[in-house]
Amino acid sequence: MHACPVPAAALLCPVVLLLALLPSPATAAAALNTSNPCAPALCGGINITFPFWLAGKHPPECGYKAYQVTCDKGNLTLKNSYWTYQLLDIFYQNSSFRADLSGGLCDSQNFVNASSDLGLSPFKISPKNQELFFLYDCELRGRPRSWTLVNCPSPDDSSVYALLGKNYTPGGTGMPPMNCNVSTIPVLGYEGATGADYQRLLKGGSLLEYTDDEPCKDCTDTGGRCRVNVSDDAFACYCNDGDDGWFIC
Ligand SMILES: *[C@@H]1O[C@H](CO)[C@@H](O)[C@H](O)[C@H]1NC(C)=O
Ligand SMILES: *[C@@H]1O[C@H](CO)[C@@H](O)[C@H](O)[C@H]1NC(C)=O
Ligand SMILES: *[C@@H]1O[C@H](CO)[C@@H](O)[C@H](O)[C@H]1NC(C)=O
Ligand SMILES: *[C@@H]1O[C@H](CO)[C@@H](O)[C@H](O)[C@H]1NC(C)=O
Ligand SMILES: *[C@@H]1O[C@H](CO)[C@@H](O)[C@H](O)[C@H]1NC(C)=O
Ligand SMILES: *[C@@H]1O[C@H](CO)[C@@H](O)[C@H](O)[C@H]1NC(C)=O
Ligand SMILES: *[C@@H]1O[C@H](CO)[C@@H](O)[C@H](O)[C@H]1NC(C)=O
């Protein structure tokens, strides 16, 4: 490092001169409150950030009402008025997440259609799922070979069978099994899986999609922070002017 000759400072050291004219970084940092109450929080190795927000850690303006999650000893759950789902993974890059919709094996939730209760939430079942059918109250003589007997009590104590269908189609099933009551759970599935793998399939969870983060992408692209107006649950982009802190832009 060599010193500047003082008389020729303006010519030889233009960078030094320029820096001297700018407000010093220390002054700028003092004026700017950089603390971010909505910074990502971790639960069980899952990052929680907009549009999700972690109760007890984030204030409510960090995400939409329906995206409030709670963390209990690394167990991340999302509640709505009908369901409590355990979240297994969140994929922010493509606005989707993996959740356990079944509540576990032999849960009474397995005897309703998962899709009908999701209808009221902002989440959609991804068509990447397959349909896992639970069949019960069947009128059968013998059962088809592709059906797996499930060791679970049904609501009417009839036998329960599992059967893995094709890609999930919202609002219905491509394959109505004859003479049975049917409930459908979307599952992610994997190569070679059949109904006999129902336990592993339930554990793998369902892939759900959300769209409420669309305005957030534009906001963060311009350096803003994504927030929600708690009184009407509407999106708000906060910008920073470097002087007065954060304001709605
Ligand atoms: C920065 O903002 C946070 C949250 O609004 C507040 O709690 C904190 O006191 C502020 N810090 C400073 C240095 O102003
Ligand atoms: C969580 O997200 C933050 C911000 O995007 C990132 O810095 C951090 O590495 C992430 N942590 C994990 C465990 O993914
Ligand atoms: C996690 O929470 C879900 C939903 O409340 C519950 O069904 C499940 O048993 C919990 N799992 C663990 C390991 O605590
Ligand atoms: C989002 O990305 C994850 C990880 O790559 C992937 O497993 C998942 O299937 C993707 N979701 C959708 C809806 O395509
Ligand atoms: C689930 O949906 C199927 C197809 O729409 C319907 O036939 C069946 O009765 C429903 N089952 C329950 C338990 O709601
Ligand atoms: C089977 O479906 C029929 C017609 O929807 C219904 O009346 C009956 O209660 C169902 N059986 C059980 C065990 O849920
Ligand atoms: C939040 O929404 C309410 C109701 O629409 C509105 O009156 C208020 O100005 C909004 N607040 C902010 C900070 O945008």
Apex 167 CA angle, 45 and 210, nearest 5: 45
User: 114 and 203 share a domain?
Assistant: yes
Tokens at 123, concatenated? 């989440």
The verdict on residue 17 lying in a domain is no
> Does 3 map to a domain?
no
The residue ranking higher by pLDDT, 211 or 27, is 211
Asked if residue 149 and residue 225 are part of one domain, the reply reads: no
Q: Is any ligand 1 atom within 6 A of the Cβ of residue 5?
A: no
Distance 108 CA to ligand 5 centre (A): 14
Whether 113 shows a pLDDT value over 50: the answer reads yes
Residue 30 lies in a domain: no
Residues 59 and 101 in one domain: no
Q: Are residues 180 and 197 in the same domain?
A: yes
Report field, pTM of the whole predicted structure over 0.85:
no
pLDDT reported for residue 118: 67
Cβ of 40 less than 6 Å from ligand 2? yes
Ligand 5 and 109: CB distance under 6 A: no
Residue 232 and residue 137 share a domain: no
> What CA–CA distance (Å, rounded) separates 8 from 14?
10
Nearest CA to ligand 2 atom 5: 40
Mean pLDDT of 235-241: 87
- Answer yes or no: is 4 within a domain: no
Cα(36) to centroid(ligand 2), Å: 14
153 confidence band (pLDDT: 50, 70, 90): confident
Q: Is residue 102 part of a domain?
A: yes
Average pLDDT for residues 3-12, to the nearest whole number?
A: 40
Residues of the domain holding 70: 39-80
Whole-number Å distance between alpha carbons of 58 and 56: 6
Q: Which of 96, 108, 46 is nearest to 75 (CA)?
A: 46
Return the exposure string of 141-157: e unless at least 16 CB atoms fall within 10 Å of the residue's CB, then b: eeeeeebbebebebeee
User: Tens of pLDDT along 37-82?
Assistant: 999 999 999 999 999 999 999 999 999 999 999 999 999 999 876 7
Greatest mean pLDDT among 5-19, 39-53, 172-186: 39-53
115 and 59 part of one domain: no
Predicted pLDDT of residue 212: 84
> For residue 177, what pLDDT is reported?
59
Two tokens, residue 87? 């979240």
Predicted pLDDT at 23: 41
Ligand nearest to the CA of 92: 4
Atom of ligand 7 nearest to the CA of 229: 1
Contact assessment for residue 13 and residue 4, using Cβ atoms and an 8 Å cutoff: yes
- Provide the domain count of the chain: 3
Q: Is residue 158 assigned to a domain? A: yes
Residue 197 lies in a domain: yes
Q: For residues 159, 163, 168 and 169, what is the CA-based torsion angle, rounded to 10 degrees?
A: -60
Residue 64 has what pLDDT?
96
- Top-confidence residue, 121 or 192: 192
Q: Does residue 1 fall inside a structural domain?
A: no
Q: How far apart are CA 26 and CA 237, in angstroms?
A: 27
pLDDT at res. 213: 86
**Does any ligand 6 atom lie closer than 6 A to the CB of residue 209?**
no
